[in-house]
Amino acid sequence: MKNAKILFSLVFTLMAATVFGQSGTQRQPATLRPAPQQQARPQTQQPPAQQKQQQQQGQGERVPVDLQQADSLIGGTFNGQRIDKLIGNVIFKQKDGTLYADSVYQYKEQNVLEAFGNVRINQADTVNITGNQATYNGDTRSARITGNVVMRDPRMTLTTPSLDYNLNTRTATYTEGGTIVDPENRLVSKRGSYNTKTKMFDFQQDVNVTTADYNIVAQNMRYNTLTKVVYFQGPTFIQGQQGDLYAEEGTYNTITKISRFGRNAYILTKEYRLSGDKLYYDQNRGYGLAEVNVALKSLKDDVTIRGQVGRYWRDRGEAKVHGRPVMETIMDADTLYLSADTLYSQEAKGARTASMIFAYPNVKIFKSDLQGKADSLSYNRTDSIMHMNVKPVLWNDKSQLVSDTIHIQLRNKTIDRMYMYSNAFIASEDSLKNYNQVKGRDMTAFFTEGDIVRVNVNGNGESLYFALEGDTTLTGMNKAICSDMVLKFGQNKLKTISFLVQPDASFIPPHELGEDARQLEGFAWLADLRPTKEQVVAKPKSPVKKETAPAKKAPANSKKPAPKKKN
């Protein structure tokens, strides 16, 4: 009985093969599961150039696609082509790739498959692609899948209307829009490709990445599903809850939250906009580093600091710029420039603290009607007070103001008052190169529309005032010693001096004026130190040295070198 069943099966198989060869309308019985192994197709001789091209593409010799399973088969010639129609639970295999479908048209001469219904392509048990239809070329080992396409590998899931997949290069390409989802991110773009070997996505046109912390918008971008690093090429916006970033090239690690940007990059927060040719930002630490053509702009009071290296600490509300930085702000409808070796900004941390800017050392100031220099300067942006420390000097038109410390009170971004503490000294040059001089312990200068209109001298007052006739002839010099004085100016020139208590005054005619009598003790005309705009805004001639990392501490159990013996 057993031998009879085997004989019956062989006869039935031979009969079915004969029918397939004669008719394109006969259906093979459902007992064809699995189908017999097909014989290899005889190789046709290809031109050497075509063989070389296929080898360069990784195709090598032509490998037929083998049928592994089908419920039924209809074979024949249609429109001059040999076609096998396989229906029901169809499985084909070629090398490490397997195709599943409800039905398949096999074009043997072209080594092409057309698959329909519940199509699935699997490669090496790691890549799975599903869709409604597919066309598979066995010579190029490439497939085009259409209709509700979903591609999965262990790292991500891609959905798209259509997809081209090359099993040789293991690269998928879509052009009708795609959405990629992995455990951390969601990425959308109009066009893109994915290399399953390198785990690298290339996105083009209308790219959008959504993470737990950021929303990224770009036109061209790459994304590694293994490292979770995003690579930018072209204008890219990164919007976050604690600030936004922009760049035209660079990388962003969605795991470590570290960005490295270039070309017109900037960080934008509620308080600052930090930009530079190179930009590093650590979101977890809230730390940003900008290099080359750095600009730090305070959005609250429209103050901009430019330099070569800038650092920003978000949580501390601090920013530092060095490399010959320059601060710019609008005052009196004019631009005030302030430069120093380092500019440091600190936001207010509470109602009782102030928002500050510190400049040090080698401070220089330029405004069309005000210039100055000092060793260091601090600017209280909350109270609008500027403090100049260590040998400060200010010039206002033809007047020079010097003291140990100078405080400038601003109102509506205009100089309102100036306080000069300890060894205060004001000098001005007249048309004959004489120097009118006033000194005292402290002074308070009052301004109107940026010009000095009055100066109060408080304590130890002394003055020298040269009397001129028609601004061309010296008629003498007034010398007075008085504790308190009031100086009044007009058109930035000293007009009158009022003495509040009985002065010790004298008038000296020109012929009695010696060189010693023309100067008060401590006088120095510092015009050579008066900064120009070019000197204040000039960039450093030599590149800024990069800060080196601190040396690592030796382990506690490491041996220390023996101290040298003294002679």
Query: Can you say whether the dihedral through the CA atoms of 301, 306, 307, 313 is positive or negative?
Result: positive
What letters, b where the CB count within 10 A reaches 16 and e where it falls short, cover 311-325?
bbebeebebbbbbbb
Q: Rounded CA gap, 361 and 339, in Å? A: 9
Residues paired with residue 90 on neighbouring β-strands, in sequence order: 101
Distances in Å between the Cα of 463 and the Cα atoms of 164, 486, 490, 519 are: 91, 11, 18, 9
If phi > 0 it is left, if psi is from -120 to 50 it is alpha, else beta; for residue 123 that is beta
**CA torsion 444→447→453→459, rounded to 10°?**
0
pLDDT the model gives residue 161: 97
DSSP string, 447-500: EETTEEEEEEEESS-EEEEEEEETTTEEEEEEEEE-SEEEEEEETTEEEEEEES
Q: Rounded CA gap, 522 and 519, in Å? A: 8
DSSP H or E stretch at residue 84:
strand 81-94
Contact 479, 506 (CB under 8 A): yes
* Residue 522 identity: G
pLDDT the model gives residue 190: 94
Q: How many CA atoms lie within 13 A of 238 on its CB side?
A: 33
Q: How many CA atoms lie within 13 A of 194 on its CB side?
A: 30
Q: Quick check: bond before 161 cis, omega within 30? A: no
Task: Quote the pTM value.
Answer: 0.67
DSSP string, 143-164: EEEEEEEEEEETTEEEEEEEEE
Instruction: Per-residue pLDDT tens, the chain, 567 aa: give them.
Output: 444 343 333 333 333 333 333 333 333 333 333 333 333 333 334 444 444 444 444 444 577 889 999 999 988 887 778 899 999 999 999 999 999 999 999 998 899 999 999 999 999 989 999 999 999 999 999 999 999 999 998 878 999 999 999 999 999 999 999 999 988 889 899 999 999 999 899 999 899 988 887 888 988 899 888 888 989 888 899 887 777 888 889 998 988 989 899 888 888 888 788 888 999 999 889 899 999 989 888 887 778 999 999 998 988 888 899 888 999 988 777 899 999 999 998 888 877 888 889 999 999 999 988 899 999 999 998 888 999 999 999 998 888 999 999 999 988 878 899 999 999 999 988 889 999 999 999 999 998 887 889 999 999 999 999 998 888 899 999 999 999 999 888 876 778 889 988 889 999 999 998 888 899 999 999 999 999 999 999 877 655 544 433 343 434 444 444 444 444
* Residue 559 identity: K
Distances in Å between the Cα of 515 and the Cα atoms of 342, 402, 508 are: 42, 22, 13
pLDDT the model gives residue 240: 79
pLDDT the model gives residue 522: 92
Domains and CATH numbers, the chain: 64-176 (2.60.450.10)
pLDDT the model gives residue 351: 78
pLDDT the model gives residue 330: 83
Q: Rounded CA gap, 147 and 169, in Å? A: 23
pLDDT the model gives residue 496: 84
Residue with tokens 């009055």: 454
Residue with tokens 């001059």: 80
